[in-house]
Amino acid sequence: MNDFAMNDALTFLLPAATAMLMLVAVHLVFGLQVLRRGVVFADLALAQVAALGATVAFALGHPPAAAAAFGWSAGCALAAALFLSLLRFCPARIPREAVIGTIYVLAAAGALLIVEKSPQGAEHIRQMLTGSILTVGWERIARIAPLYAALSGAQIALSRARLTGAAGWRGWAGEVVFYASFALVVTTSVALAGVLLVFALLIMPAAIGVLYAERLPAQLAIGWAMGALASAAGLAASYAWDLSPGAAIVCALGATLACAALGKWLAGRGRRGALGRAARGLGLAVGAALAISAAWLIIAPRSDQPLLDTLEYAWPGVRWAYLTEREAGTFIEAEQFAARYRDEAEKLNALERRSRWQGNGLSDDELRALSSFAQSYGEMRRGEEFVMHEVRARARERLRWCLAGLACLGGLLLAGLPQGMWRVRSAASQPETPSSAQSFDTVSFRDASSPSSRVTLALSAASSPTVTSAPEPAAKDAVA
């Protein structure tokens, strides 16, 4: 990507990143309250009710940008907020999420029924619920920032005043204020960033904050820092790898939450040996994956092999290790022909595209001829791809016992090695009575270390369920 493209990208990536920082902050403030109340899906319900309001306005003949449309959608959302504030009086036998889910589906279904009577309304709803973070301009940020600041400031003040936790009518007033400001935030931000991103921003940074801190300021600081980091990473990844930005940020947030939870779990069991535990856990996971892959390779060598396929995708050189010279030759030839056919077809398509506005244009008969050539190239390419697939499948079928053996061996080493290291370390620090699971593991590990018995052990392990039972006691040990 050249400098020009980078500059172009910055003109919308900078506002998008700024908007994300703002969204992370405001959703964190409300997300902490949402988690505390256990009304995780309230945001979806409120956004859908606001969309219903906009649909009603549209059906009544108001243009989408009119004040009436905003009035309808804000009015409906506030009415729903008032209803949600009454949830505290709802009998305990009915979970709150049941009521929230009901509001959501009713609003969605109602909007659908209204839309059926007014065409073009469907797109209107979709636009209210799928904002695009990339097209946020500075003007829009400047317009929304004061609203967000005021609402989250009020929310923090409210929780400081201990109004939210109060009983009776005083507490209810607190609830009304919470849900009303929440409704305003959600309807604004869903139109800005879309339902997917708003839900993720509401839950995940708040969850990280709650995991690591007890007090509100610390929760806010940790949640915001992690949320901002994940958003930046997601946005950068979406630019670097050409991904949809909302989905990329949601995945980055999810990964951050997973790391945070894992870190908490490791740290929660004493600081000492946390690294060793992490290594052991990772070893067990990879070992189990290898063992399952080995079993799958033996059962169905010709079907998709996720692990082997991923390896080959990342390092195409892996396949030369198991293809014979002749097979490799066939494979390379088929690959080259497939690439050539694809290029030829692309060339024809580009020619047709240009001919629409350059030169004299193609006649219908010329176009038909060109299409049939392009189609033939497509068929021939598929033929070559079939050859590539078949060569690999046959080699895998031929070598499945050997490959599975290697995988099992690797799995055992990975699952066993860190554990052995861990035992040495813990034995040095404190005396420990070896459990039956550990002794089993040690035996298999020592057996595997003698080269002649390696393959036979791995083979018997792969064909019998012992291979899955091997990591199991160790996992039990880790949990205990």
Q: Give the binding site for another protein (CB under 8 A).
A: 1, 4-6, 8-9, 11-13, 16, 119-120, 122-123, 126-127, 130-132, 134-135, 137, 235, 238-240, 242-246, 342, 345-346, 349, 352, 356-358, 361, 364-365, 367-368, 371-372, 374-376, 378-379, 381-382
Q: What 3-state class would DSSP assign to 197?
A: helix
Q: Which is nearer to another protein, 192 or 408 (CB)?
A: 192
Q: Which is nearer to another protein, 97 or 352 (CB)?
A: 352
In whole angstroms, what is the distance from residue 435 CA to residue 272 CA? Answer: 21
Nearest approach, Cβ of 137 to another protein (angstroms)? Answer: 7
Question: Dihedral sign, CA of 91, 94, 95, 97?
Answer: negative
Q: What 3-state class would DSSP assign to 199?
A: helix
Q: Which is nearer to another protein, 114 or 455 (CB)?
A: 114
Nearest approach, Cβ of 348 to another protein (angstroms)? Answer: 10
Q: Which is nearer to another protein, 375 or 456 (CB)?
A: 375
DSSP-derived letter for residue 356 is: T
Nearest approach, Cβ of 312 to another protein (angstroms)? Answer: 21
In Å, how far from its chain's centre is CA 218?
26
Are 223 and 152 a contacting pair, CB within 8 Å? no
- Phi/psi of residue 50, nearest 5 degrees: -65, -40
Nearest approach, Cβ of 345 to another protein (angstroms)? Answer: 5
- As a dihedral over the C-alpha atoms of residue 469, residue 470, residue 471, residue 472, rounded to 10 degrees, the angle is 40
Q: Which is nearer to another protein, 329 or 378 (CB)?
A: 378
Nearest approach, Cβ of 192 to another protein (angstroms)? Answer: 10
Q: Which is nearer to another protein, 137 or 316 (CB)?
A: 137
Place of tokens 């505390």: 36
Q: Which is nearer to another protein, 138 or 315 (CB)?
A: 138
**Residues whose CB falls within 8 Å of the CB of residue 61, separated by 6 or more in sequence, listed in order:** none
In whole angstroms, what is the distance from residue 467 CA to residue 461 CA? Answer: 5
Q: Which is nearer to another protein, 80 or 345 (CB)?
A: 345
Nearest approach, Cβ of 112 to another protein (angstroms)? Answer: 10
Nearest approach, Cβ of 407 to another protein (angstroms)? Answer: 33
Are 478 and 281 a contacting pair, CB within 8 Å? yes
**Best CA proximity match to 198, nearest among 89, 323, 42:** 42
Nearest approach, Cβ of 265 to another protein (angstroms)? Answer: 34
SS3 of the chain: helix, strand, coil, percent, to 5: 85, 0, 15
**Best CA proximity match to 323, nearest among 396, 389, 383:** 396
Q: Which is nearer to another protein, 135 or 310 (CB)?
A: 135
Q: Which is nearer to another protein, 323 or 338 (CB)?
A: 338
**Residues whose CB falls within 8 Å of the CB of residue 388, separated by 6 or more in sequence, listed in order:** 331, 334, 335, 338
Longest dimension (CA), the chain: 89
Q: How many residues does the chain have?
A: 480
In whole angstroms, what is the distance from residue 379 CA to residue 118 CA? Answer: 44
Nearest approach, Cβ of 16 to another protein (angstroms)? Answer: 8
In whole angstroms, what is the distance from residue 363 CA to residue 369 CA? Answer: 10
In whole angstroms, what is the distance from residue 240 CA to residue 5 CA? Answer: 12
